[in-house]
Structure 1
Amino acid sequence: MTRIATAKAASSTAIRAFALAAGLVAATILAMPPTAFGASRIKDIADYEGVRDNLLVGYGLVVGLSGTGDDLTNAPFTKESLVAMLERLGVNIREQGGAIATVKPKNVAAVMVTATLPAFARQGTRVDVSVSAMGDSKSLMGGTLLVTPLVGADGEIYAVAQGGLAGVGIVATGGGGGGAGGSTTVQKGVPTGGKIANGAIVERELPFEMAHLEAVKLSLRNPDFTTANRTAQAVNAFLGSNVARPTDPSTVQIMVPPEYRGNVVGLLTDIEQLRVEPDQMAKIVIDEATGTIVMGENVRISTVAIAQGQLTIRITETPQVSQPSPFSTTGDTTVVNRTDIQIDEGQQNKLSVVPHGVTLQELVNGLNNLGIGPRDLISILHAIKASGALQADIEVM
């Protein structure tokens, strides 16, 4: 009896110890910042204030075209640019009295050049540029962009572009048979635009020093109160202090801790790998032009009955050949159209009930059971929203 009592006491102690350990584990899990299996890294949902690209634009000339350049009569800006460029190079094509001589080259085109200046781009760094025709040039294939300064929004020159165009579309034309409808045209891509890989050299740097910042701001790409608060909680849990706080739905301000002073890059490297569960509002996005419907996960609907039906008239013409009887001296062979008319009044469509609080999958299944297409589904969603049964915003693109 003593051994049995001792065994029972030991077993009870072990159970209490196990329960205590399980409680400690549960408390630790509850104290951790909220995460989920589908959580995203901070670097994928937020940008750092000050770390951004800048847009550049310039005007230039493309030469070396195979007779597909601008018509200088229709594009006077191309002619003026050509004359100005030649004069800068020491070539004078003006007649006595200052009038411009008659020039009609077919291998020159005026273009707009655009590029993106990355953050922290240093002098000598190369960036890609895009070239687009401005005049009536038919194609930029085989052309070379001459030296073109690229300016920013402040009017300062930050890069200079030049080089041969690549990736220009292909156009093939041909005629056949001598008839008016015998011409054939094959076009692939857009021949009046192209790109130059590493076609611009950075000449001016944007001054921005982040190593000694005292505070860093995160800008959420999809502003949301809950996401901003969760991001601040994740950063504070990682650093062990309340240095992060959301200032608005799109901004989280982080004070640089003493151990990261002078090493803001190291701080951002550690923070951007933290995972946060982004929250999103219930929204339905509709593109009526293409009939595209995108529903968010949190879309909910109250109990509502839906019926959809429309009158469809289908007319089919089937041509048949009518011939006279064999050895008949009268009658001609003619083509007779046989017309078949079918009317669908939507009698098979019944009233369907969508229950309260269904999930997105259940909502989609219920609407699909009505046997309707995307166009009719758009009308139904608008009607449900108008009735007040749809707990989501509808955004029409």
Structure 2
Amino acid sequence: MKYVIAILGVLIVFGLTYAASNDKRNIRYRPLVQMVILQVILAFILLNTSVGELLIKGFSSVFESLLAYAADGVNFVFGGIANEGQAPFFLMVLLPIIFISALIGILQYTKILPFIIKYIGLVLSKVNGMGKLESYNAVASAILGQSEVFISVKKQIGLLPEHRLYTLCASAMSTVSMSIVGAYMLMISPKYVVTALVLNLFGGFIIASVLNPYKVSKEEDILEVQEEHKQSFFEMLGEYIMDGFKVAITVAAMLIGFVALIALVNGLFDGLFGITFQQLLGYIFAPFAFLMGVPWKEAVDAGSIMATKMVANEFVAMLDLSKQAVLSERATGIVSVFLVSFANFSSIGIISGAVKGLHEKQGNVVARFGLRLLYGATLVSVLSATIAGLFL
């Protein structure tokens, strides 16, 4: 039965994407079929084989070690603040982002990361039927983050037509930054984080290829990555450390604001209607949760967490998920995969602001198709969770 529901879920995702397509006649179906098959194979390997288990354990152990090293720095500055046996979220989950950001800076400075990103992108362009720039951007977004990635292609942003700019922004919203992957792994199972990272990479291309189909000519298919201005090693390191600190503080501020606002709105709705706002959203999202493979009796609770992710952000939703004792292991896995992306309302402002900072006119273009971006990125998350649900 779960296979029938999964197939129905995938068909509905494609139906919703096709209905919103801006050029139905130019959709190329062969790359789509190839990428869906790849998603299924990769989900099976990661979730149902000893090879996948080994890969995930290796990936998560790297981050466990990095977080342990990060804890040395956090404890040096904040040791003694936490109560015995308690681990404050800001200290244990957010502040390690600073250390991960510093490591990414070192890998950038030594040209290791640009080399990896560029050549993985070139290989992907052979599979997805898109341009080299789009493929590079998708890989770079998953490592550098949804705002930082545009700096590396700033030479080309002003030259891009709207349809190519949409694909770049869609990739940025459909993935997550490697600097906060460790934080996710402290809230949900690492295997779901890794699975989502891989599936979303292809899912972003799949949905964008239907919503926004186009062909890139050989003359247009040029990848020109911006070199960062020359800095000394310690200048670079200081910059990346401060960038990581800004991310940690920003996430903390957003969590304080969103959690408090959701509590306020829940209280108002509960007092007036006898149902919280999140419960109401849960009923709206329940059909999508069911199509992703969540049993119907758990669909409302799962839908509530999915809605929280879109209205607030993935951190708030992951915190809610960690408190949910009623969800089964299968439902938890499916919802976890759904949560690992930047598909929420605040990301519209972040992405359009990042592009506007580099090219004002193009930033205004991004702001105009912001809701369409969120629509596509949410469908990417639904597709990834549905395919993961086949093997949970």
TM range (shorter): under 0.3
Structure 1 or 2: larger helix share? 2
Determine which structure has more spread, i.e. the larger CA radius of gyration.
1
Give the TM-score taking structure 1 as reference length: 0.16
